[in-house]
Structure 1
Amino acid sequence: MPRKRRVKSVKTELIKKAREAMLAAVQIYNNPQVTFKAESFITLAVIGWTYLLHAFFRSKGIDYRYYRYTGKKKVYDKTKYGAYKHWELERCLNEKDCPLDSDTITNLRFLIGVRHEIEHQMTDKVDEFLSAKLQACALNFDYYICKLFGDKYNLSKELSLAIQFSPLTPEQRDILHDNSHITSNVKNFVVDFENVLSEEALASSRYAYRVLFVPINAKRKGQADQVVEFIKSDSPLAEGIEKTYAVLKETEKRKYLPSEIVSLMKEKGYDKFSINKHTELWKSRNAKDPKYSFGVLISKTWYWYETWLKEVQQHCEEHADKLRS
């Protein structure tokens, strides 16, 4: 007679595999020889979180298998070869007894959405574009595996800060800030996803974890041995850095529909400026060419940036005699 597996043994195995999946995700991301970083991290992280939540549901006696009722009989869904179909991560997040906080759930929904996009199209250098969300995902996982199952599963002691061979040069910084190489499907998904988030959710470190690095010279013994030195957020030094960062940080560009641009021009007195004239203008300048960065296509709708609005205003000023009654 075959041995009957105990609930505890399955739960422990799920936790172990969840932990190993996240460790593998981080190790691959930190490997300088790997260029398929973000995509690999997301795939393994989703597996890790799925197993972690399966372990939690199992510990609470929650059945995480798909089933349906035929009359009064519960019939479980199975794969072609007879295995039970368990909940995927998205279904786990929808469960009312899911133990995760809302910002952690938002972070995971974001990564699931990105995974759906990269499954169908090759991406190009999305690592830096997504890094804050990936870092938050890893930290959230470490927090919850310890919270739900104990500190013995802690991952932070096994991974350290990645070392690089040179400081960040201005040229590298410009490349990191230039998102023009990101495939449009990923960029459009990110914009659509974040447009509906509250300011609190966007600022949450559970959703996206950002760290500001400032090169410093050691001024006391022992300090020079620390690559990263943490300071209190309410200290005078942190306050000064925050003010500088507030000036430098990149913000999401304001977007305008064509009708909004026309309305703004009419408010300035250019009452003869119309949608047709606006269309003629952007076509004459080929303004939708990505090299000009005048706008962005999101879900089949074109939005114009502030830079294009200024171009339109300048055009109206130069042709005021024709555009005013």
Structure 2
Amino acid sequence: MITLRQGKAKTILESSINSAFTAVETYNRPRTSFRIENYIILMIIAWTKLFHAYFQATIGERYFYKEKNGRFKRIDGEKKAWELAECIKNYQKYQTDDKLSEAVMANLKFFIGIRNKIEHRYWDSSTLDILLFGECQSLLYNYENLVVELFGSDYSINISLAYALQFSHLRAPQQLKAQRELLSKDMQDIKKYIDKYKTDLPQEVYDSQEYSVKLLQIPKISNTNRTDLAVEFVNWNSLSEEDRENYNKITTIIKDKIVKQNVSNANMLKPIAVRNAVKEKTGEEISQSNHTDLWKAFSVRPGTKSDAKFDTVIKYCVYDEPHNDYLYTSEWVDFIVRLVTKYGFNKGNIHSKCNGILKVEDFD
């Protein structure tokens, strides 16, 4: 879990959360024009800024595009940051353990395609409501889960969201209108995109709540305790097969999602721990200067006086901003072990072998 202090990453994250709040507020406002279209666009912004906050906190300002001459690309004077698709690709690359699931990525890529199709078209929002409700709900659930996973429960947004009120007697006319709208040329085009996208998904992804939440909502009319909640959610994973069949017919079902809470700097190593681990695995006792020679030769991190402190090879090393030093991964230990056991690096020759820039891929 990343601990944020006042600074750019915190500001970007707060902007992301505000965009998500506005998206939900817009979606739940019944007479708003372009309701679902605005929700999708604002949630795309929220997701993009969430990734930007993560990158800002972990790799610094390396999530901006650069020209061939090394200068930042600019649009209207502003640095051009990675768009959502590029953010997803790089997040998967930098993460070693907690990558986005296939279903979460399918949901995000689905909405990137939808966003591109709705930007220059108009139709009644109730049409898209019927087609996309489950995917829209998962887009929000997945966002909430990743915010908490990356930055902690202090940034949870669900306590601020209310269950939207429904006008059930209006539902049938709205659905009829939406069904007529499906005959329009523009809607046929987007319907074709939606149907093809869903058809191409693996069954396990399509069935996942992370791709699309499937809810069945029915009024609760039986006698209940007066202290009962008006809305109840059932833990799907705890039900028997018989109960599942019954609940499929009569109540609201939501699968429980396990959110993994990461500990800040978990499993990260200081230089002395790296050296001890190498000694334990190989018997070779490398010195601190040996270790310095290695990270310099393989460009694993910047020099001590460098201003680009976040410019590290994430697989092997990260900058620990609160302590103003660097921590190393178990992959870095494994790499040094391979240098010792396979390529003959040892305490006596590391300095001479590291006389120049070396490429990691040459020693894989």
TM-score by length of 2: 0.59
Asked if residue 114 in structure 1 is aligned to residue 114 in structure 2, the reply is: yes
Q: Which residue of 1 aligns with 2:188?
A: 184
Q: Which residue of 2 aligns with 1:141?
A: 143
Q: Which residue of 2 aligns with 1:33?
A: 31
Q: Which residue of 1 aligns with 2:224?
A: 220
Asked if residue 123 in structure 1 is aligned to residue 116 in structure 2, the reply is: no
- The code of the aligned residue for 2:117 comes to E
Q: Which residue of 1 aligns with 2:233?
A: 230
| 1:44 counterpart (19, 42, 46) | 42
| 1:86 counterpart (71, 81, 87) | 81
What is the number of equivalent residue pairs in this alignment?
Answer: 235
**8 Å contact kept, 2:216–2:250:** no
SS state at 1:241 partner: helix
Counterpart Cα distance in 2 of 1:127 and 1:94: 29
**8 Å contact kept, 1:232–1:238:** no
SS state at 1:67 partner: coil
| 1:22 counterpart (1, 20, 23) | 20
Q: 1:41, CA displacement in angstroms?
A: 0.4
Q: 1:238, CA displacement in angstroms?
A: 3.3
The 10-residue stretch of structure 1 (26-35 or 229-238) with the greater mean CA deviation from structure 2: 229-238
The 10-residue stretch of structure 1 (214-223 or 126-135) with the greater mean CA deviation from structure 2: 214-223
The 10-residue stretch of structure 1 (163-172 or 31-40) with the greater mean CA deviation from structure 2: 163-172
- The code of the aligned residue for 1:112 comes to I
Aligned pairs for 1:239-254 within 5 A: 239-242=245-248
Q: Residues 69-120 of structure 1: CA distance to partner in whole angstroms, max 9, x if unpaired? A: 33xxx23211232x21100111111212264322111111111101101112
Counterpart Cα distance in 2 of 1:168 and 1:7: 48
Q: Residues 129-175 of structure 1: CA distance to partner in whole angstroms, max 9, x if unpaired? A: 11111110111111111110010111110011111244576666666
User: Do the aligned partners of residues 195 and 222 (structure 1) sit closer, same or farther apart at CA in structure 2, a change above 3 Å counting?
Assistant: same
- The code of the aligned residue for 1:202 comes to Y
The CA RMSD over aligned residues, in Å, is: 2.6
**What residue ranges of structure 2 are gaps of 5+ in the alignment?**
252-364
Asked if residue 203 in structure 1 is aligned to residue 200 in structure 2, the reply is: no
Counterpart Cα distance in 1 of 2:141 and 2:42: 15
**8 Å contact kept, 1:107–1:206:** yes
Q: Which residue of 2 aligns with 1:248?
A: none
**What residue ranges of structure 1 are gaps of 5+ in the alignment?**
1-5, 246-325
Counterpart Cα distance in 2 of 1:243 and 1:80: 55
**8 Å contact kept, 1:7–1:58:** no
Q: Which residue of 2 aligns with 1:65?
A: 64
The 10-residue stretch of structure 1 (29-38 or 136-145) with the greater mean CA deviation from structure 2: 29-38
- The code of the aligned residue for 2:65 comes to Y
Higher normalized contact order (CA 8 Å, seq sep 6+, divided by chain length): 2
Q: 1:184, CA displacement in angstroms?
A: 1.9
Give percent identity, aligned residues only.
27
**8 Å contact kept, 1:38–1:127:** yes
**8 Å contact kept, 2:218–2:250:** no
Q: 1:196, CA displacement in angstroms?
A: 1.8
